Structure 1
């Protein structure tokens, strides 16, 4: 800021934004208005003016934060993590105590129902896997059709782009370098074409449509399981539905993209990087040698103008480049197979993990009940006493952590 008025306006705007009705930060010395240049000038002159003092306050605030505040933040974070573990342990102890008190009472008929629910859950997992297999097969059929359509016009598109290939090297005196430049431009244009097809057709159309159908089917199966656990909670006072709901919510991230191929370079970029197997130095060397030999054998360089020679070289690069590209089809479809299977398996495995947890909860419920029925009264009382003691110990630790946290806040 060059003027005092400008500095005041900026300062007022920032203070309204940061410390207004809904403040972003709280506490003193959190916002500093400094001028490094003005502060440096003051230091060099030996003056303790407003710029020098403002900069000194800023550095002191940083020192204080690094010395005191950052430590408190780390302590609070660690205590919060420990508290989450303690809460989980306490929750498990309360459930165990409830089982011992006979709160979970399931008749033989209800046990049979739970066994049936385990079978139903396994069946839902099988249906999801079968549907994914069917969709993968359909995706490859659609890919083959789309690829053939894309490949049909590829030569014309690359030929059009080849008109704009250029190089500073002479077709006579530095022919190898000229061929290398044209080869790199061929690879660049082909990579762009593959990238565009991979993103516009494969990702945005073929995969998106089929994954949407799979996601909807998975959601329907998991919702049905969730409904069963809601009913169990109401009948026998458990919180299994809440545990399962958290797991179902946790797989949403798996369903928002294309797995490892959804971000970064994208599916098209992965294809372009992984499928053009001849883009290395070895391929370029082969093209340079092949083109040079073909050009030398087909005409005398003195007989043509430079532009004519360049066109001949472009034509040979174009011809040999597509020959190598067509020879790499096995590698191309190997990469496509990796991409398609990865994005589908990502979703299927996520759903399977949730279903496996649901089955484990069913089995845990049966185990708890069986244990409760088979234990003697003496055994139950001894275990209840142990649970009570452990619960007290954990609660005492929580209280101690609360004291530590309060001391950190005061300091």
Structure 2
């Protein structure tokens, strides 16, 4: 990359915007001179009334020209300030290059290795905790249903009943509804116990993000810090409060089980058969497994995505570092000169615009 100092001898010479600025200021001077000339003419009693009327009209027209010039100058000032911000951005990049180029590459590679290893461990731990949570929840549910079956489907003589009639139906219905409520509470506890282990594992990794983020230019640095902060908040909320933050496609365990419960105890007009209760038990068991798996899969994916974004950041940083390390001192000096030249040009233009805006 080469930068050329603008000059008329240079084949890449571009006319300085300051020259246009001089022209605009000349317009202002011309309008002000006309206004002063009109004032002098109006004071001279020897001039005719008709000429004075024309001069007054000219003064009003010139005033409109000056106002238009000021409005244009105001708009131009805003646009030049945008240009100044672009140049400030370029200057920040130029200043950040030495820090990025001198960052310890070995430390970054160690971070990448640690993150990659942690990502695999989080996935493995997540699967283990998911399977254990499903196992505990289904065992608890089977135990609850077994208790109800033994209570309501065994008579006083210890014989199994194929069904329960009207007299026992209401009591059984109330109890199984209560067991479903208890099930939801128990599963919430089981899920939280498993997820907290995965969350703690994801937080154990020492990500030295800010050390390298602080080397970047301010806008990018602020953007990345905001993204990391929001991601950390999301991770914490979804791991600590899993039921309050269900996957978008899941309506919750209670809603999933509700149609089966309603079909068993509310829509049935006759007796409740034992085999219908067993069928209900199996249907709910499937919903339990799907519900727990959905939450764990969603949270594992979220944690892995955080690790993936960390890896992407370090890879981008290393690529940027490699490019900066290949730059020569001459190239850096040329960039510095170019930035200084553009800043001088913009400063001159802003100075000329200030003259226009401050004109009476």
TM-score by length of 2: 0.52
Please show how residues 2-401 of structure 1 align to structure 2 within 5 Å.
Answer: 96-100=93-97, 102-106=98-102, 110-155=104-149, 189-199=175-185, 201-204=186-189, 206-221=190-205, 224-225=206-207, 228-232=208-212, 239=221, 242=225, 244-259=228-243, 269-273=254-258, 275-276=260-261, 278=263, 284=267, 287-288=268-269, 291=270, 317-318=271-272, 320=273, 322-375=274-327, 377=330, 381=335, 385=339
- 2-side partners of 1:327 and 1:192: how far apart? 18
What is the deviation of 1:279? Answer: 5.1
Q: Is the 8 A contact 2:239 2:299 kept in 1?
A: yes
Q: How many residues align?
A: 242
* Larger RCO, structures 1/2 (Cα 8 Å, 6+ apart): 2
- 1-side partners of 2:118 and 2:91: how far apart? 32
Q: Is the 8 A contact 1:136 1:341 kept in 2?
A: yes
Q: Is the 8 A contact 1:258 1:343 kept in 2?
A: yes
What is the deviation of 1:118? Answer: 1.4
User: Cα gap change, 1:151/1:124 in structure 2, threshold over 3 Å: closer, same or farther?
Assistant: same
- 2-side partners of 1:196 and 1:344: how far apart? 21
- 2-side partners of 1:258 and 1:106: how far apart? 43
- SS of 1:216's equivalent in the other structure is helix
Q: Is the 8 A contact 1:251 1:350 kept in 2?
A: yes
User: Cα gap change, 1:151/1:331 in structure 2, threshold over 3 Å: closer, same or farther?
Assistant: closer
Q: Which runs of 5+ in 2 are unaligned?
A: 1-85, 155-164, 351-360
Matched with 2:37 is: none
Q: Is the 8 A contact 1:211 1:344 kept in 2?
A: yes
What is the deviation of 1:236? Answer: 9.0
> Rg: which structure is higher?
2
What is the deviation of 1:114? Answer: 1.7
- SS of 1:258's equivalent in the other structure is coil
What is the deviation of 1:90? Answer: 10
Q: Which runs of 5+ in 1 are unaligned?
A: 1-88, 161-177, 292-316, 397-411
Which region of structure 1 is more displaced relative to structure 2, 245-254 or 362-371?
A: 245-254
Q: Is the 8 A contact 2:235 2:303 kept in 1?
A: yes
